[in-house]
Chains A and B, each alone.
Chain A
Amino acid sequence: MKLPQFAYEAPATVAEAVDLLADYQDEANVLAGGQSLVPLLALRLARPAVLIDINGLDELAGVSVTDDRVVIGAMTREYMAEESATVSAAVPLLAAALPLIGHEAIRSRGTIGGSLAHADPAAELPAVARALEAEFVVRSRSGERVIPAADWFEGYLSTSRRPDEILVEVWFPVAGPDSGAAFQEVSRRHGDFAMVGLAVSLTLADGAISDARLAFSGIADVPVRAAEAEALLVGEEPSAELFAAAARRATAAIEPPADLHGSSEYRQKVAAVLVRRGLRAAADNVYERQ
């Protein structure tokens, strides 16, 4: 279908964008890469009076690194992050997830900030952000605030960003030398939304797991951490038995949604397989990165 009518604003600076958001509030939608919002417009699921196109805000695109965090501008295209040596060295979980997002033509336009602000629970980046406890920097006329990932995802396609705020950057912690990561998913076709996805990050110390992060995509209306399984893993040495126990613990209480591609019970079983595979792959990745 053709897009509905809207007033179009293309601010040249973040300050201008913030002023527009202050004026229009929830009458406006922010257009980043457009790979989710434009379909919503075409399907008439979004009917904003005003579209604020931030593709001209070059100041929001780019990857930089400090001692302990990688700062990714909200308008950094997914392919740019995928090609970033900084991302692949310092945020291996993000690097593992990026090639799984949509298809090449989607990643040409799609942005890191756009995906995380859209907050589709079946998408890869929200699970990555939850697993790594990323932080979200939003700006409005009254200044900036930093929102932890645990508070960012509020519900289906819903975040704690207020209508007058714009997401400007996302902070990811730099992975230590003894950590490894993997992103696992099962989808019917490469690039489709996964039936279930799993972000895994493991850190080892003296042969035992000192930190474990597991975050599912596609099993609820927000990305979901498997806190009990994480607790079970910490302090133990990696083994197939341990990973199988973690898979049972992580999936015992989940109730994934059903659709024509798979029942809830099927997805629960897939989730358990992903936990075992993901933990093994992340443990292997620790040694690969050393």
Chain B
Amino acid sequence: MTVNGVRRGGSVEPRRTLADFLRDDLELTGTHVGCEHGVCGSCTVIVDGRTVRSCLMLAVQAAGREVTTIEGVASGGGLGPLQQALQDSHGFQCGFCTPGFVMQATAFLRTHPDAREPEVREALSGNICRCTGYQGIIDGVLLAVQRSQH
């Protein structure tokens, strides 16, 4: 598979989830594993352009696919525009859910570059944050939309 533009491979048990493969085999620990049964959204990654929950996909099913994780969102070690807008809006506290939110919002903004608040709320409804009450996260995504239009 290709992960963040780099060809990666490995030999794993079929029961290994993509989330565990990314974290434990490829040591890309930015993808967080929360509930491990598809409820919390923390492990969201992008596979072939669409968001998936990497705890609900087997690593073997990602063979030949193009995977983007939180490590691949920005280049050069800095923050991408969405990440910067989220930081400026105090979008996160403990940060556990952050990678999942960033991946979901990244994919969403690609197809909805001029999204408004109700659409953003619906798009992020599958990700759970136990700290913020969500307002800062929504504000951050909307700020990224606003900045991209100037």
* Measured CA separation A191–B123 after assembly (Å): 10
Measured between beta carbons, the chain B residues less than 8 angstroms from A42 are 36-37, 55
Which range holds the interface residue count of chain B?
20 to 34
Pick the contact of A38: B37, B44, B50, B51 (CB < 8 A).
B37
A43 with B37: in contact, given A53-B61, A104-B108 (CB under 8 Å)? yes
- Does B73 lie at the interface of the complex (its beta carbon under 8 Å from any beta carbon of A)? no
Provide the main secondary structure of the chain A interface: loop
User: Which chain B residue has the least Cβ–Cβ distance from A77?
Assistant: B50
Query: A32-64 vs B: 1/0 string, CB under 8 Å?
Result: 001100110111000000010101000000000
Measured between beta carbons, the chain B residues less than 8 angstroms from A39 are 37-39, 56
Closest CB-CB distance, A270 to chain B, in whole Å? 20
Pick the contact of A8: B60, B104, B108 (CB < 8 A).
B60
* Measured CA separation A8–B37 after assembly (Å): 20
User: Which chain B residue has the least Cβ–Cβ distance from A7?
Assistant: B14
Measured between beta carbons, the chain B residues less than 8 angstroms from A38 are 17, 37-38, 55-58
Measured between beta carbons, the chain A residues less than 8 angstroms from B136 are none
Measured between beta carbons, the chain A residues less than 8 angstroms from B44 are 105
* Measured CA separation A1–B36 after assembly (Å): 6
- Does A280 lie at the interface of the complex (its beta carbon under 8 Å from any beta carbon of B)? no
Kindly identify, within residues 92 to 106 of chain A, every residue whose CB is under 8 Å from any CB belonging to chain B: 102-106
Q: Is the CB of B122 within 8 A of A190?
A: yes
- Does A261 lie at the interface of the complex (its beta carbon under 8 Å from any beta carbon of B)? no
Q: Is the CB of A109 within 8 A of B122?
A: no
Pick the contact of A103: B14, B60, B126 (CB < 8 A).
B126
Q: Is the CB of A5 within 8 A of B55?
A: no
- Does B13 lie at the interface of the complex (its beta carbon under 8 Å from any beta carbon of A)? yes
- Does B93 lie at the interface of the complex (its beta carbon under 8 Å from any beta carbon of A)? no
Pick the contact of B57: A6, A109, A191 (CB < 8 A).
A109
Measured between beta carbons, the chain A residues less than 8 angstroms from B55 are 38, 42
- Does A79 lie at the interface of the complex (its beta carbon under 8 Å from any beta carbon of B)? yes
Q: Is the CB of B36 within 8 A of A102?
A: no
Closest CB-CB distance, A52 to chain B, in whole Å? 11
Q: Is the CB of B126 within 8 A of A51?
A: no
Measured between beta carbons, the chain A residues less than 8 angstroms from B57 are 34, 38, 109
- Does A3 lie at the interface of the complex (its beta carbon under 8 Å from any beta carbon of B)? yes
User: Which chain A residue has the least Cβ–Cβ distance from B49?
Assistant: A108
- Does B52 lie at the interface of the complex (its beta carbon under 8 Å from any beta carbon of A)? yes
Q: Is the CB of B51 within 8 A of A105?
A: yes
Measured between beta carbons, the chain B residues less than 8 angstroms from A3 are 15, 17
Measured between beta carbons, the chain A residues less than 8 angstroms from B121 are 190
Query: B32-71 vs A: 1/0 string, CB under 8 Å?
Result: 0000111101001001001111011110110000000000
Q: Is the CB of B53 within 8 A of A2?
A: no
Q: Is the CB of B52 within 8 A of A109?
A: yes
Measured between beta carbons, the chain B residues less than 8 angstroms from A1 are 36-37
B residues engaging A (CB < 8 A)? Answer: 13-15, 17, 20, 36-39, 41, 44, 47, 50-53, 55-58, 60-61, 104, 107-108, 121-123, 125-126
Report, nearest first, the 6 A-B pairs whose CB atoms are least far apart: A103-B126, A8-B14, A39-B37, A105-B51, A108-B50, A3-B15
